[in-house]
Amino acid sequence: MQPRFFAALAFAVLSWTWTAVSYAVTPATANDLSWLSGEWQSTQQGVTSEAHYSTPAAGSVLGILRITAGAQLAFYEYERIAEENGTLILYPVPNGNVGVSFSLVHLETKSATFENPTHAFPRTVQFAVDDTNNLHIYIDGTQNGQPAHQEMIMQRQ
């Protein structure tokens, strides 16, 4: 991961505020995300990414993401994925700041895509586990009027 990734990510998440979003969503329950639970980690070029996701319980999945560069905390995020009105809503809290909410728009066996079409970046957040049991977190949207994409890949621990 490159240092500019962290700067862009920090800029994007620090500007978030939670807003209500209303549009087409995908029916689901927290149990549909059981594949996400566990500990995930990767280290590349001195940058370590760690994610921990709880087992679904009480209609929710809780997550923690931490990115460190050497001995420095570069980014952290608390996440709550909650059942609401027959679907799932992702509530991220990046670097301790309340963010926007994202509604589930697509669900597969080991993939979930959340979207907030009113937010420039990120507009979509996707969690996917591949055939080699790696977690991919894709973040897409626009920054400065240009398409922007970030990806983290972590191995199950």
pLDDT digits (tens, 9 = 90+) for 72-114: 999 999 999 999 999 999 999 999 998 899 999 999 999 999 9
Q: What is the mean pLDDT of residues 45-67?
A: 97
Report the topology of domain 3-156: Lipocalin (2.40.128)
| pLDDT computed for residue 46 by the predictor | 94
22-54 per-position pLDDT tens digit: 456 789 999 999 999 999 999 999 999 999 999
| pLDDT computed for residue 10 by the predictor | 45
DSSP letters spanning the chain: --HHHHHHHHHHHHT-------S------GGGGGGG-EEEEEEETTEEEEEEEPPPBTTEEEEEEEEEETTEEEEEEEEEEEEETTEEEEEEEETT-----EEEEEEETTEEEEE-TT-SSSSEEEEEE-TTSEEEEEEEEEETTEEEEEEEEEEE-
Arithmetic mean of pLDDT over the chain: 89
| Band of residue 11 on the pLDDT scale cut at 50, 70, 90 | very low
pTM of the complete model = 0.84
| pLDDT computed for residue 90 by the predictor | 98
Domain boundaries, the chain: 3-156
| pLDDT computed for residue 99 by the predictor | 83
